[in-house]
Amino acid sequence: MDHLSQQIPKDKYSTELKIHLFKLWRNNLADKKINNLYQLVNCGLADDCFKNLLENNDYILPEIQIENIEITARVNDIKFILGDKDRLNCIKRAVESYIKIYEKTDELNYLIRALELVGKAKSIFKQELVQLEGKILQVIVELKSSYYQLQLLNTSINFLFQEASSKKLIDYFTIKLEESFKINQYDNAIHYIQILSKLKYFNDTQFKIETALCLEKEADYYVSQIDKDTITYNPKILSSYLDALRQIKKVVVDENFKTRLEKKIKNEQKVEAEIIPIIGINGKSKLNIPQLIREQNIEDFDSGFDFLLWYPIFNPTFNKKQEKDFFFQQYFPTSLQITNKGTVSGISSAEEYNLNQEREHYRNITISLIQEIKLIMDLDGQVCRDWVVAMISQCKSPLIPKDREYLFIEGIYSGFQNNFILSSHLLIPQIENSLKSIIESNNRNTIKLLEDIQNDNTLGGLLSIKENGKMLDGICEKNLLLELNSFLIDGNSVNFRNKISHGLISPFEINYYGIYLWWLSLKMIVQTEEYFKTVITNI
């Protein structure tokens, strides 16, 4: 072990240390001690990350003296968490080392971790608190990113003991807020509003009003950038207006402000309704959605969420098959699906074409219904990430492999925040991976074993409904399988997965269909046992 200690320089930290240990590990793959050190320096600087590392039965915390400053910091950090007998000296060494690394690298995560540890044992850092306060004031105004400024303040707010410190920051960030509005930097403005709220410059009501005004300004700016002579749609505009209205829903505010936002929302919804037919989506329906919502007593988040989970996926038996096909279909036994480039993306029989039309009609009605219900849910209350974490953890869904829970959480949370473009890009690959896991856990193979290069089957292979390739037959509920096939990979239908993967779909279409993918994902997560009937284990 002394030999290993000599191979690790004292003055390497952060990325350089990770690269150095990776090279050592690559040249000594069987050396568990090097592997343990490599895992240690790759671990996130947070209690949960360290605890997850220690839960790995194969991991052993290094017990030797290694003079490298970052390894020393991390080992002492973990020993403090574990309640080491010398835990007070452990936390002192960890804090001192993290601050030294920050001063060498300017990487904020080291300073934030040091402050988190100080917050756990303030009494033993009494002499250092004044110095730390000065350092926080210096660093926070030097940071170029409003996001990092907010991160630092969240960690250090309890270290600002002097009234002059808070006043100095308030003066600084009120100026930064005004500047961000002048140059249309609205993400920064939101961060500055949050910072000023943390500093008690805004009370809760003022914070919500200022946030709403900022969101309105952001949406107004996007509207002003649209070329009136071209057909353009930016989904961010409507979502920003909606978020603004949600902020002030339960706040006493000038009614003219609410009325103004409602008018802008209706106008953007009208623009969306005009664009939908232009891109080839037929969303017209005789269904009276407002009446349905009233009859189902959907009036808040809970009733809306319950209805979304209850609402069924398309079943071919919903629509009675026409007794006779249109007479002209005898002359056109097959139908071609043509892309916007004029190429053929799919071929179907007349019967398949009619079924696709019914399926797409139901899907578009469902999307309109989800949009209306989601608006009601949004106006009732905003979902935080912790709620999504708790909801998904409580489901204990076999659909979600343990190492992919974070990605599902982010995908579902993004949908609750109406960012269906991000949600779609996160959820599609995870759905594919989950289906592979489910198939394999039921003792079926997803790998092309007979080929020279034994790659996994793609999503098209997993969702195949052909007689010779039904990997999910008997595992996935039939209507869900047919809908996933049609929606995600069928060239005669939306072909959502393939279009996203190859960049063949516009932001508007991703946003439009993304809410449907988000809804399907919610149903599969919450109702896994209903849609995947075979008992699934060891995923």
Q: Which residues have C-beta within 8 Å of that of residue 451, sequence separation ≥ 6? A: none
Separation of first and last alpha carbons in the chain = 37
List CB contacts of 286: < 8 A, sequence separation 6 or more.
none
Q: Using the 8-state DSSP alphabet, how is residue 447 labeled?
A: B
Task: With H, G, I as helix, E, B as strand and everything else as coil, classify residue 125.
Answer: helix
Kindly report the number of other CB atoms within 10 A of residue 407's CB atom.
16
Contact 492, 352 (CB under 8 A): yes
Residue type present at position 51: K
What's the gap between Cα 366 and its chain centre? 23
Burial of residue 310 (number of CB atoms within 10 Å: 0-12, 13-18, 19+): exposed
Quote the distance between the C-alpha of residue 329 and its chain's center: 45
Q: Helix (H, G, I), strand (E, B), or coil: what is residue 333? A: coil
User: Which run of H or of E encompasses 349?
Assistant: strand 344-349
- Partners of 456 in the β-ladder: 447
DSSP string, 73-113: HHHHHHHHHHT-TTHHHHHHHHHHHHHHHHHHH--HHHHHH
Task: Please give the Cα distance from 218 to 189 (Å, whole number).
Answer: 10
Cα dihedral: 202, 208, 210, 211 (round 10): 120
* Tokens 């003079």 -> residue: 67
Three-class secondary structure of residue 48 per DSSP: helix
CA angle (325, 331, 335) in 5-degree steps: 75
- DSSP run (H or E) holding 267: helix 255-278
Q: Tokens standing for 291?
A: 């009446």
Residue 416 has a pLDDT of: 95
- Cα separation, 214 vs 217, whole angstroms: 5
SS (H, E, C) 451-509: CCCCCECCHHHHCCCCCCCCCCCCCECHHHHHHHHHHHHCCCCCCHHHHHHCCCCCHHH
**What integer pLDDT is reported at residue 350 of this predicted model?**
58
Q: Model pTM?
A: 0.69
Please identify which residue in the block is written with the tokens 């439009």: 512
The sign one gets for the Cα dihedral 413, 417, 420, 426 is: negative
With residue 334 as reference, give the H or E element that holds it.
Answer: strand 334-338
**Number of other residues whose CB lies within 10 A of the CB of residue 254:** 10
pLDDT of 488? 93
Give me the count of residues in the chain.
539
DSSP per residue over 221-262, as a string?
HHHHTS-TTS----HHHHHHHHHHHHHTTTS---HHHHHHHH
Q: Across-strand partners of 338?
A: 344
SS3 state of residue 532: strand
CA distance 410 to 130: 38
**Stretch (H or E) spanning 345:** strand 344-349
pLDDT in tens, the chain (539 residues): 466 667 888 888 899 999 998 888 888 878 888 888 989 999 999 998 899 889 888 888 887 678 899 999 999 999 999 998 999 999 999 999 999 999 999 999 999 999 999 999 988 998 889 999 999 999 999 999 999 999 999 999 988 878 899 999 999 999 999 999 999 999 999 999 999 999 999 999 999 999 999 999 999 999 999 887 777 778 789 889 999 998 998 888 999 999 999 999 999 888 887 777 766 666 566 678 888 899 999 999 999 999 999 999 998 876 554 444 443 344 334 444 444 444 434 455 556 667 888 888 899 999 999 999 998 998 888 789 899 999 999 999 999 998 899 999 999 999 999 999 999 999 999 999 999 888 888 888 777 655 555 467 678 778 887 655 578 888 999 999 999 999 999 888 899 999 999 998 888 899 999 999 999 999 999 999 999 975 545 44
Helix axes 350-380, 235-247, angle to 10 degrees: 30
Q: CA gyration radius for the chain?
A: 28
Helices 69-82, 87-105: inter-axial angle, 10-degree rounding: 140
**Per-residue model confidence (pLDDT) at position 304:** 95
Is there a contact between 456 and 436 (Cβ–Cβ < 8 Å)? Answer: yes
Place of tokens 């080992």: 75
Whether the Cβ atoms of residue 190 and residue 207 lie closer than 8 Å to each other: no
CA 520 – CA 480 distance, rounded (Å): 9
Measured torsion, CA atoms of residues 42, 46, 50, 52, in degrees rounded to the nearest 10: -100
Within 13 Å, how many C-alpha atoms sit on residue 488's CB side?
25
